[in-house]
Structure 1
Amino acid sequence: MSVNLKKKEGGGKEERECKKCRLGRTQMLHMYEGSATIHGVPKILSPQLYYFRRYLWTIMLIAMTIGLIIFLYRSFTRFYEYPIITNTRLEFNNEMQFPAVTICNANQFRQHKIPSDDWEIKDLIFEMSEMSVLSEYFKDHFAISSPEYSFIPEPEAHLGKNLYKFALDAAHKLEDMFIVCLWGGAVVNCSKYFERVITDMGVCYTFNSNRSSPITSYGSGSMSGLRVIVDIEQPEYYFSQISLAGIQVLLHEPGSAAMLTSNGFVARPGSSTAVTIRKERIDGLSKPYKAFGSEYCMTSHESGFKTPLQRYKDYIYTRQTCAMNCLTDDYVKHCNCCSLFDKGEEEYCSLRTLRDCYIPYKAVANISDILKNCTCPSRCVKDKYISSMSVADFASTFTKDYMVNNGILKNRNGSYISDNVIDLRIYYETLTVTVTEQRAEITIETILGDLGGQMGLFIGASVLSVVELVEFVTLLLIGWHNERQEKLKTKQTPVEHINKISSDSYL
């Protein structure tokens, strides 16, 4: 090792300048002793003021290092549990997208459309109705035993595609059911604002169903919302899926499939029902965070605008459509056909298959077991519409007489209005959205801050101290390697030494 000594001008202090150094371990320890920024290291390596000082500081440094490792392990363990904190905030808007409103008549089949002499179709409608479950007497009365016609070819009207056409034709028509429609206080054409949709309740009508061009509300209150006057045509009622009289209404996201058997509210005839809406939005964190308890949620980029479910590919993904997709898959797989109001591309079941296979199997199928084998995550971002209702009589006697006399309610008397007509008003209570937003409780930034704080607390170190330590260990290994090479050179035999000199001379 060649070392030059030079004096700094004005300083009078000598410093060593290493030009081509091969430092050994001893020199490196001395260098690290003078430059180490980890508390305790200089006190271990420097000359000792009392005999047990080195041992005391070594024990303290080891103990602090162990404590640091434990705290960092707990921090990283907590980080990989992906904990979440939830914040709630309010968004104030001048305008807001109106929800889709699906309205279904509680009755699915109009009496005058049902063939009076076709008892098999009547029997089928009864078997699909709520009354078949409630009344064993009615079931026995209308049922026709299968041996009487099991070997007879089915009539053309009983084939699946024809039964489906019959169901559509027998449903209540938009032009007969909707008397008056108002949007934003102005009378509008009902057929331009409502679209016929096939739901689990049969044929229904949806307002604002197109997500690509949604209808927007510019204010709160009844004059900024939707109002419809509906005639449920109760004289046409027959056996149906539900046995009440009135309409079933569902508020949902535009573009999503309407599931009415387990959602929505009902409005009775002869009433004026006012429904105020408040909008809530949930912004959940996607994988690896478990946004809703013990499950991962589905992000929009995974499903896009359309759902990944085959039966509802034209709709937005929701957890309910996923569950219905699984149930329908099971029913269809068992009977190799769809029911009248099922989504899917399979053929519709014939009357005989519906009666002998589909309806009995659906009645005994274990829904819990089917859904247990079905993965249906919630969406990370979803809108909810919270509604509250108030109900009064449809109108005063004077108002009803005025509406009849002026052609608003043609060919309807007071008794008919009380039994059939519903005035439904739906509007925003406020244009404020309650947003429930999830955020990561621990991020990389908090981990780095925690790391720096714990290192400073336990061993008085920083990130540069760690770099310094890594550099020292690296140089120490290099020094050990250099010393080993020097020892190997000194152990060469004289003959090897002479041969090496001769070889060098020759070269």
Structure 2
Amino acid sequence: MKPNALDLFEKFTKRTTCHGLDQITEQGRPTYIKFIWGLALAVLFGGMCWQLTARVLEYTEFSTDTKLHEEFAPYVEFPSISICNYNRFFNITDHHELAAVDGLIRLSSPARLQSEDALWEKYIRDYYQDSKHSIFLSDEVEKRGWQLSEQTIMKCTFHHKPCNYTSFSSFITTMGKCFTFNSHEKKQSIPGDGHGLKITLNVMQRELMSGLWGICNENPKKMKYHHKYSFAECMTECRIGYVIKKCGCKPYWTYQVHDALECDVWNMINCSGDAEADSLNLTPDECGCDQPCHSVGFVQALSYATYPGVLVGEILAADEENPEKGSNDIESHIMTANELNMSEIDPFRVKLNAYRDNHLMLDIFHETLSFTRVTQSKKITEMSLASDFGGLLGLWLGISVVTVAEIVQFFFQLLAAFLKKRPVVLPVEHV
């Protein structure tokens, strides 16, 4: 007699290592006992599925374990320091030039008023019709931007060694002309004030013109215009690529791009101004920019005070008015406040206030020679996920790998029995 599916199932429950199934099919047991065992197995199976689903979801959500470890070192790398002046243009005395430059800046702003576009375009066209004016905004920034020179650097030291404007390299950004400090000694071995970069600047305020695991990518895309990948630089390159693709030229502030020509003022009016404004609305998904799994960040601590003090400020302001006196005049004024009659120097503090308005001192340094290493690792690895599967199957139903093999065998037996029962239909010949 050929076995049917019920007979095969009964035999399977008696020899399988999955506990509890034989309690349902055992002969002679009351029906209510079998029902209770069936209900219990259904509840246990549901609990197992619930826990397995929770573990799989936690794995697919890229959950991480974060480990913080503070490490001390004999020295730490000194970061690249870039200095920009928010006042992008200086010494523009021609009203038409100022209106044209201001108009070009407004064209690429997402907050511009379109109702004023025609007016600004008129200023731009009127000024740049003259062929003696360069039609590239980067030339205007280079010529009229804030300069780092002997006149603007009042004092500069790095590791207590003197530095000057030749220690900085310039580049053009959307903030105007910026300068990055370059030093052969890019390490700080002594923590604290004065052991990093200390610089006093004249910002020329009075000459201001108006106007690893987780949701990260271990191998982010290669940067085209930057040496190292970062999320911000990726978005910047995306903006650059958007403008180049749409208008065939690059924005004026893309100093690192060498495979495209700069957009001239006519292109800014007709295309790149709008494109640059629109590029600010690009999303990381549209740009394909992911958070990198490896990055280095600096925690900034900012403190400030009025610079300089009254006593020193009066002396410095007086020396600025009479530069031929030099530093010897300062040394001659080293005395206590009681010995120096401040009212005789500048009774209304006019020079002091002017000096304070136009000068600032930056002291950039590492407070400690330690750094915090933040490491994120998989909270659930593939190995631990497989172990969870095995543990939960065994805990709730007593299922092991052997049981899985038995279940596979059972299904093949069912399939074989079904195929053997299929009737064979022979064609009937009609005489």
- Paired with 2:329 and 2:9, the residues of 1 have a C-alpha distance of 102
Task: Tell me the residue number matched to 2:220.
Answer: 302
- Paired with 1:195 and 1:63, the residues of 2 have a C-alpha distance of 73
In the alignment, is the contact (CA less than 8 A) between 1:167 and 1:340 conserved in 2?
no
Does residue 1:74 correspond to 2:45, yes or no? no
**TM-score of the pair, normalised by structure 2:** 0.67
- Paired with 2:305 and 2:391, the residues of 1 have a C-alpha distance of 65
Structure 1 residue runs of 5 or longer lacking an equivalent are: 1-24, 242-283, 292-296, 485-507
Q: CA offset at residue 200 of structure 1?
A: 1.5
In the alignment, is the contact (CA less than 8 A) between 1:82 and 1:441 conserved in 2?
no
Letter in 2 for 1:298: N
- Paired with 1:83 and 1:335, the residues of 2 have a C-alpha distance of 40
SS of corresponding position for 1:195: strand
- TM alignment of 1:63-462, pairs within 5 A: 63=42, 66-67=45-46, 70-71=49-50, 74-75=53-54, 77-79=56-58, 81-87=60-66, 89-94=68-73, 95-111=75-91, 120-128=96-104, 154-160=130-136, 164-176=138-150, 177-184=152-159, 186-191=160-165, 193-207=167-181, 215-234=186-205, 237-239=207-209, 241=211, 284-285=212-213, 289=214, 291=215, 297-299=216-218, 301-304=219-222, 307=223, 310=224, 313-331=225-243, 336-343=248-255, 344=257, 345-354=259-268, 356-357=269-270, 361=274, 365=277, 369-371=281-283, 374-375=286-287, 376-400=289-313, 401=315, 404=319, 407=327, 415=352, 417-462=355-400
Does residue 1:40 correspond to 2:51, yes or no? no
SS of corresponding position for 1:127: helix
SS of corresponding position for 2:292: coil
- Paired with 1:84 and 1:350, the residues of 2 have a C-alpha distance of 49
Count residues with an aligned counterpart. Answer: 381
CA 42–195 in structure 1, closer or farther in 2 if over 3 Å, else same: same
- Paired with 1:174 and 1:408, the residues of 2 have a C-alpha distance of 25
- TM alignment of 1:453-492, pairs within 5 A: 453-470=391-408
Question: For the pair shown, which has the larger CA radius of gyration, 1 or 2?
Answer: 1
In the alignment, is the contact (CA less than 8 A) between 2:101 and 2:124 conserved in 1?
no
SS of corresponding position for 2:38: helix
CA 419–446 in structure 1, closer or farther in 2 if over 3 Å, else same: same
Q: CA offset at residue 420 of structure 1?
A: 2.5
Q: CA offset at residue 103 of structure 1?
A: 0.5
- Paired with 1:170 and 1:409, the residues of 2 have a C-alpha distance of 33
- Paired with 2:8 and 2:275, the residues of 1 have a C-alpha distance of 82
Letter in 2 for 1:98: F
Structure 2 residue runs of 5 or longer lacking an equivalent are: 320-324, 331-344, 346-350, 421-431
More strand per residue: 1
CA 440–219 in structure 1, closer or farther in 2 if over 3 Å, else same: same
Letter in 1 for 2:99: D
Task: Tell me the residue number matched to 1:9.
Answer: none
- Paired with 2:398 and 2:90, the residues of 1 have a C-alpha distance of 84
In the alignment, is the contact (CA less than 8 A) between 2:64 and 2:379 conserved in 1?
yes
Letter in 2 for 1:425: D
Query: Relative CO higher for 1 or 2, CA cutoff 8 Å, sep ≥ 6?
Result: 2
- Paired with 1:28 and 1:142, the residues of 2 have a C-alpha distance of 88
In the alignment, is the contact (CA less than 8 A) between 1:226 and 1:427 conserved in 2?
yes
In the alignment, is the contact (CA less than 8 A) between 1:99 and 1:208 conserved in 2?
no
Letter in 2 for 1:223: G
In the alignment, is the contact (CA less than 8 A) between 1:180 and 1:187 conserved in 2?
no
CA 222–473 in structure 1, closer or farther in 2 if over 3 Å, else same: same
Letter in 2 for 1:224: H
**CA RMSD across the alignment:** 4.9
User: Alpha-carbon deviations, 1:110-169, whole Å to 9, x = none?
Assistant: 42xx5x6x6653432333568x999xxxx999996578689x6x4143343xx6445324
User: Alpha-carbon deviations, 1:469-505, whole Å to 9, x = none?
Assistant: 546766x579979xx7xxxxxxxxxxxxxxxxxxxxx
Alignment identity in percent? Answer: 20
Deviating more after overlay: 454-463 vs 429-438: 429-438
User: Alpha-carbon deviations, 1:260-319, whole Å to 9, x = none?
Assistant: xxxxxxxxxxxxxxxxxxxxxxxx52xxx4x2xxxxx333x3335xx2xx4xx1343333
Q: CA offset at residue 45 of structure 1?
A: 6.8
Letter in 2 for 1:407: S
Letter in 1 for 2:201: V
Q: CA offset at residue 44 of structure 1?
A: 6.0
CA 398–460 in structure 1, closer or farther in 2 if over 3 Å, else same: same
- Paired with 2:121 and 2:398, the residues of 1 have a C-alpha distance of 87
CA 452–320 in structure 1, closer or farther in 2 if over 3 Å, else same: closer
In the alignment, is the contact (CA less than 8 A) between 1:97 and 1:214 conserved in 2?
no
SS of corresponding position for 1:67: helix
Q: CA offset at residue 88 of structure 1?
A: 5.2
Letter in 1 for 2:163: N
User: Alpha-carbon deviations, 1:198-244, whole Å to 9, x = none?
Assistant: 221121111259xxx88222343113322111122345x24255xxx
- Paired with 1:191 and 1:357, the residues of 2 have a C-alpha distance of 38
- Paired with 2:414 and 2:171, the residues of 1 have a C-alpha distance of 77
In the alignment, is the contact (CA less than 8 A) between 2:191 and 2:367 conserved in 1?
yes
- Paired with 2:329 and 2:229, the residues of 1 have a C-alpha distance of 40
- Paired with 2:316 and 2:278, the residues of 1 have a C-alpha distance of 54
Letter in 2 for 1:91: E
- Paired with 1:418 and 1:337, the residues of 2 have a C-alpha distance of 42
- Paired with 2:48 and 2:381, the residues of 1 have a C-alpha distance of 19
CA 453–81 in structure 1, closer or farther in 2 if over 3 Å, else same: same
